[in-house]
Structure 1
Amino acid sequence: MEEVLDNPSTGVAPCVRLTPSLASSSSSSLSVDGSFPQITTVKLDGANYVTWKATVEKYLIARGKAHVIRRDPPPTTYPTFDRWEQDNALVCTLLWQSMAPHVSGPLMLLPTAKRIWDQVRFRRGDLPLATHYSHFVGLCQQLDVYMPLTTDLTEVACQRDQIRVVQYLESLGPEYMHLRQQIIGSGDIPSLTRDL
């Protein structure tokens, strides 16, 4: 059984604490006393999305729960729906607890961990100007690492083409997130003029 408690540290985000009967069935994801583990010391505050995403995603992969943020829920009639529902509730709670209250608050009513995950990714545009600028500078620094300056004009043209492909993919709506992740994550970004 579960009970919903107000989070005393923030007063905003509710917590779900499992009673011992459910805690024992989910022991691989819960601590000995049935409380949720701290999955990262990096709390999402709006300026640290890249670091937060990397730590949370690795944790969920290690615990076998990444499917909840990557795939849509199965139909309620599927035999795996009950297990997905448990995993979804656990991951939602873990995500909320890994965020600063001003970030998690608006996400509390979203029904799935995938929607929370997608919304956090796309809400970066809602940040204050200074935070958005800080995030942009971090992205530019990452770009400098992956696409260093060169005097080779063929390489410059290739890099420019890759940037345009990524810009195009980033401009697509959330329904294309899987395709975008697959293409960008492959490490071999196709040419805008040759491959697409």
Structure 2
Amino acid sequence: MNKITDVKLNGSNFLGWSKTIIVHLRSIDKDDHLDSGPPTDDVKDDTRRAWLRDDAKLLVQIRNSIEPDILSLVNHCEFVKELIDYLTFLYSEHTNISRIYSVCKSFHRGEQHDKNATAYVMEFNKVYEELNSLLPLSGDIKAMQKQREQIAVMSFLTGLRPEFDAFKNQLLSE
């Protein structure tokens, strides 16, 4: 197999794309490559060589499932874990304020337009899942407080008139 999925990572589809990659690795019993790097030198040479070979095959398949402009950002990654960790840092960090803003805006201003009810519900659920991924439930009071502050900022920014777009863009780029 040359690639894991026909849907290439373009940045905005990271949540669905990463789920596909994870499920695929789990289905072939290679999800350990998500949790650990290469075996240390004290591991038997054959075991280490087999792990490195498997990881290289998976790395090529995953890289073939990524858009070229994003590939240039991850050329330094040599192992599956390193690649997935870096992509997670780039595209799903909970501190990614501009992505949280975009998802909150879609969530709070969702409109059916000319979609049928099923398509609208599916689109709404997709946005809802991404919002939950960006702002997960937590028992940590400080994390909850930070999330509430982020939601308040998103609500404020969403309500601003168009003449404040420059201000809004400046805040979102920080």
Gaps of 5+ in 2: 108-125, 147-174
* Structure 1: 4+ residue segments shifted above 2 A: 128-140, 142-146, 159-168
Change (3 A) 1:145 1:74: closer
TM-score by length of 1: 0.50
Q: Which residue of 2 aligns with 1:172?
A: none
- Number of aligned residue pairs: give it: 120
Matched, 1:62 2:27: yes
The percent identity for this pair of structures is: 22
CA distance in structure 2 between the aligned counterparts of 1:43 and 1:84, rounded to whole angstroms = 25
Identify, as 1 or 2, the structure richer in strand. 1
Residue 72 of structure 1 deviates from its aligned partner by: 2.4
Change (3 A) 1:71 1:145: closer
Gaps of 5+ in 1: 1-29, 31-35, 147-158, 169-196
| 1:45–1:103 contact (8 Å) kept in structure 2 | yes
Q: Which residue of 2 aligns with 1:107?
A: 74
Counterpart among 61, 72, 89 of residue 37 in structure 2: 72
Matched, 1:47 2:34: no
| 1:46–1:131 contact (8 Å) kept in structure 2 | no
Q: Which residue of 1 aligns with 2:59?
A: 92
Change (3 A) 1:134 1:40: farther
| 1:43–1:98 contact (8 Å) kept in structure 2 | yes
Counterpart among 107, 111, 128 of residue 141 in structure 1: 128
Q: CA RMSD in A?
A: 3.6
TM-score by length of 2: 0.55
Change (3 A) 1:99 1:132: farther
| 2:59–2:80 contact (8 Å) kept in structure 1 | yes
Change (3 A) 1:42 1:77: same
Change (3 A) 1:113 1:165: same
